[in-house]
């Protein structure tokens, strides 16, 4: 599970040379309090709710979440500009919309919908529920009834509030070291800053207007198409365009079909080509070859006649092979990031700049240096005292130590304390690694906490304790990396560090309420977690099985399953090593094991959708690369947002038991 983001290389000199996007040296900088406005917070809350709904949908269906930062930036800019334009037509004056306010909105929105992912609503929290427990099997070794905790709105809000703010206070004192001393790139944060800076230039504002128009157009198309599809989806999960046998019934039975989903096509437009091709390759390997082969061994490797969701049969192979690929990829990248971090830190420590003096320079160099000096002054002007960060962290640890055992009794206070003692070090590693590579390993750190705590607690509540510890670790390292990325964005847009910190806190507080509420809409309206449901929540089963493995070991796996898992685990390590050792012109064509793993358990249908998206983008880039670069993100965001917005009326109809009037399904022509 994770966010699929492009591997971009953005350097600060490149950013500085882009004069069209650079802030004016003489531009007045508002006070940090003026950067946080009521209209900005209102827009942030509305967009945060929208993106939480979209993130939940992706999390509960396939688990691949593309970066929505471009959409957040575009919609934030458009919303406030529309707001001020409407007021001016009514004769009311309004404060100018600055790049700093734009940055605050971006920060709030990303902090809010980030909790829909790191909050575990499609993974570790959902792994605790009774449906997942029964799906694995009540008689399955290590799967105990006492390790069940069904979703509840109040306890989920309390849990998110307790764990989500700790990451914000853990690394605040290091913001100068990370952003100014080490000059970490934070590619996504830098790209976001370039986007926001470009909005506030004349040419950039014109392009942004066209991008918003494009986003709105495809949002409307996506919403109307989803509405149209609903009429044919009938009762149950076997009707409609979502089950259209595009390539024939034989391939349909192996999940190879196009389900006409605007969301997944949009994901294909946003995600890099290699991610989409890796997903398709995983679908071909698993559903094209591996699972048909394993299914022929029924009665030999595993008992024949088992249910499709029985872990003693084919279903067990699907889950554990996917886990082996995910762990192999995660462990390799964790070791790689730690190695790169240590190497870069030692290099930077030997060559940290102390004093920069410029006596004779040309005009361009002088302008760039003045620009950098101005940004440094603004970034360091509004300090966040060390005692605030330390006191905040200690107070939150004390609150968490007293409340976590009440929510999850097997997770004792001393285990919580140990987690919070090592969490800042892990948060630093993740934040530094994200600054270098743009790849957050929050879920990997969460899995490490899961295995350690589950094995320590053992069979008496170890599964529940491990899943809760996964949430603690994942939330801390994820929010810490997000905060540093936002500091980088704020630095490049000349926004106050204090306004960035406050907006991150406000956005997190919004997310603590909005993320559980939007998840609750899904929980009450749809059949969440059922393998036959569109919202099968694939990672719920995977995370619970990981926790059971931490307690019980590998003794209960189906025959030959462990050998197959070891093979795929080693393959994930080898492929990652090959990607790093080969030249870039070769490695760009080598698949990504984490992306390959996703369809092993979920199915091939969404891989077809994403591949169609990547084919559309590929052709678009060949016809007009400039247009593709300018508008592909807006088109993709419109497709994703429109389908996501339709979820709200769809959920309301489901709650009031209003069923679609038509069931469109397909069968062989010879059958009655």
pLDDT in tens, 592-602: 888 898 888 88
Judged by average pLDDT, the poorest of 155-169, 282-296, 348-362 is 348-362
What pLDDT was estimated at residue 13?
A: 36
Instruction: Show the tokens assigned to 203.
Output: 């040419």
Amino acid 9: pLDDT: 33
| b/e burial code for range 509-529 (CB count within 10 A of at least 16 → b) | bbbbbbbbebbbbbbebbebb
Average confidence score pLDDT of the chain: 84
3-state helix vs strand vs coil in the chain, percent to 5: 70, 0, 30
Residue 406 structure tokens? 């009440």
Alpha carbon 436 to chain centroid, angstroms: 18
- Helix (H) or strand (E) run with residue 122 in it: none
Asked if residues 99 and 40 have their Cβ atoms less than 8 Å apart, the reply is no
Lowest mean pLDDT among 382-386, 571-575, 592-596: 382-386
Give CA–CA dist 584/418, Å, rounded: 41
- Yes or no: say if 210 and 74 are a contact pair by the CB < 8 Å rule: no
CA angle 650, 652, 655 (to 5 degrees): 110
Compute the distance between CA of residue 667 and CA of residue 672 in angstroms, rounded to an integer.
9
Beta bridge partners of 298: 302
CA separation for the pair 110, 105 (Å, rounded): 9
pLDDT digits (tens, 9 = 90+) for 70-95: 778 778 888 888 888 888 888 888 88
Integer Cα distance of 446 and 547 in angstroms: 11
Note the pTM of the prediction, 2 decimals: 0.80
Q: 613-667: per-residue pLDDT in tens?
A: 999 999 999 999 999 988 888 888 888 888 888 888 888 888 788 888 999 988 8
Buried b (16+ CB within 10 A) or exposed e, 307-332: eebbbbbbbbbbbbbbbbbbbbbbbb
Rounded to whole angstroms, how far apart are CA atoms 567 and 565?
A: 5
249 SS3 class: helix
Rounded CA gap, 199 and 210, in Å?
11
State how beta strands 64-66 and 2-4 pair: parallel
- What pLDDT sits at residue 25? 56
Which whole number is the average pLDDT over 514-525? 94
Q: Which residue reads 């890796």 in tokens?
A: 278
- Within a 10 A sphere around the Cβ of 168, how many other Cβ atoms? 22
Report phi then psi at 502, rounded to 5: -65, -45
Average pLDDT value for residue range 466-483: 91
- How confident is the model at residue 348, as a pLDDT? 58
For CA atoms 505, 506, 512, 514, give the dihedral sign.
negative
CA 539 from chain center: how many Å? 13
Would you tell me how many other CB atoms lie within 10 Å of the CB of residue 662? Answer: 12
- Under the banding of pLDDT at 50, 70 and 90, the label for residue 453 is very high
Q: What is the DSSP string of 50-95?
A: HHHHHHHHHHHHT-EEE--HHHHHHHHHHHHHHHHHHHHHTT----
- As a whole-number percent, the residues of the chain with pLDDT over 90 amount to 33
The pLDDT assigned to 438 comes to 66
- The H or E element that residue 3 is part of is strand 2-4
> What confidence category does residue 357 fall into, taking pLDDT thresholds of 50, 70 and 90?
very low
Cα–Cα–Cα angle for 44, 47, 52, rounded to 5 degrees: 115
Q: Regarding predicted confidence, which is higher, 314 or 514?
A: 514
Q: Which among 631, 231, 634, 163 has a CA at the least distance from the CA of 442?
A: 163
Single out the residue of 311, 281, 292, 298 nearest to residue 250, CA to CA. Answer: 292
């Amino acid at each position: 599970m994770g966010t699929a983001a492009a591997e971009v290389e953005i350097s600060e000199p490149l950013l500085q040379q882009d004069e069209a996007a650079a802030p004016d040296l003489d531009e007045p900088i508002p006070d940090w309090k003026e950067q946080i406005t009521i209209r900005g917070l209102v827009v942030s809350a509305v967009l945060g709710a929208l993106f939480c709904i979209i993130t939940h949908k992706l999390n509960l269906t396939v688990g691949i979440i593309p970066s929505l930062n471009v959409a957040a930036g575009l919609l934030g800019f458009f919303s406030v500009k529309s707001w001020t334009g409407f007021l001016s037509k009514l004769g009311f004056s309004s404060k100018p919309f600055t790049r700093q306010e734009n940055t605050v909105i971006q920060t709030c929105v990303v902090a809010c919908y980030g909790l829909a992912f790191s909050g575990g609503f499609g993974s570790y929290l959902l792994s605790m529920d009774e449906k997942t427990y029964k799906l694995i099997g009540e008689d399955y070794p290590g799967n105990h009834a006492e390790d069940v905790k069904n979703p509840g709105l109040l306890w989920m809000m309390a849990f998110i509030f307790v764990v989500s703010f700790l990451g914000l206070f853990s690394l605040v004192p290091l913001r100068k070291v990370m952003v100014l001393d080490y000059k970490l790139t934070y590619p996504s944060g830098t790209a976001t800053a370039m986007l926001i800076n470009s909005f506030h230039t004349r040419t950039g504002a014109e392009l942004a207007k066209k991008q918003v128009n494009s986003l709105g157009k495809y949002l409307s198309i996506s919403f109307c198409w989803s509405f149209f599809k609903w009429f044919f989806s009938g009762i149950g999960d076997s009707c409609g365009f979502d089950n259209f046998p595009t390539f024939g019934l034989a391939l349909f039975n192996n999940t190879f079909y196009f389900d006409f989903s605007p969301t997944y096509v949009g994901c294909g437009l946003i995600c890099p080509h290699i991610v989409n091709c890796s997903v398709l390759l995983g679908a071909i390997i698993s559903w094209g070859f591996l699972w048909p082969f394993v299914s022929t061994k029924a009665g030999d490797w595993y008992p024949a006649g088992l249910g499709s969701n029985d872990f003693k049969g084919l279903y067990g192979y699907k889950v554990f092979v996917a886990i082996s690929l995910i762990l192999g990829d995660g462990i390799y990248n964790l070791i790689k990031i730690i190695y790169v971090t240590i190497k870069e830190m030692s290099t930077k420590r030997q060559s940290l700049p102390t004093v920069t003096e410029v006596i004779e320079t040309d005009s361009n160099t002088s302008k760039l240096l003045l620009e950098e000096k101005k940004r440094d002054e603004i970034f360091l002007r509004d300090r966040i005292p060390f005692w605030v960060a330390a006191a905040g962290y200690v107070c939150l640890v004390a609150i968490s130590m007293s409340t976590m055992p009440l929510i999850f009794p097997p997770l004792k206070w001393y285990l919580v304390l140990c987690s919070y003692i090592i969490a800042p070090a892990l948060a630093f590693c993740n934040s530094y690694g994200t600054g270098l590579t743009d790849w957050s390993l929050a879920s990997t750190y969460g899995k490490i906490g899961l295995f350690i705590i589950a094995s320590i607690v053992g069979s008496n509540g170890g599964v529940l304790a491990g899943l809760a510890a996964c949430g603690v670790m994942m939330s801390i390292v994820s929010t810490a990396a997000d905060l540093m990325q936002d500091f980088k964005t704020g630095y490049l847009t000349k926004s106050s560090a204090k306004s960035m910190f406050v907006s991150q806190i406000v956005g997190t507080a919004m997310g603590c309420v909005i993320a559980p509420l939007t998840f609750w809409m899904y929980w009450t309206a749809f059949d969440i977690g059922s393998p036959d449901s569109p919202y099968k929540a694939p990672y719920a089963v995977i995370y619970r099985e990981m926790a059971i493995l931490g307690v019980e070991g590998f003794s209960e796996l189906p025959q030959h399953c462990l050998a197959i898992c070891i093979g795929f685990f080693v393959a994930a390590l080898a492929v990652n090593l090959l990607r790093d050792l080969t030249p870039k012109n070769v490695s760009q064509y080598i698949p990504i094991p984490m992306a390959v793993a996703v369809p092993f358990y979920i199915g091939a249908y969404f891989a077809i959708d994403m591949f169609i998206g990547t084919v559309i983008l590929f052709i678009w880039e060949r016809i007009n690369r400039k247009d593709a670069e300018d508008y592909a993100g807006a088109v993709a965001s419109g497709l994703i947002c429109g389908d996501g917005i339709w979820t709200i009326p769809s959920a309301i109809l489901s709650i009031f038991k209003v069923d679609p009037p038509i069931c469109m399904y397909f069968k062989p022509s010879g059958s009655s």
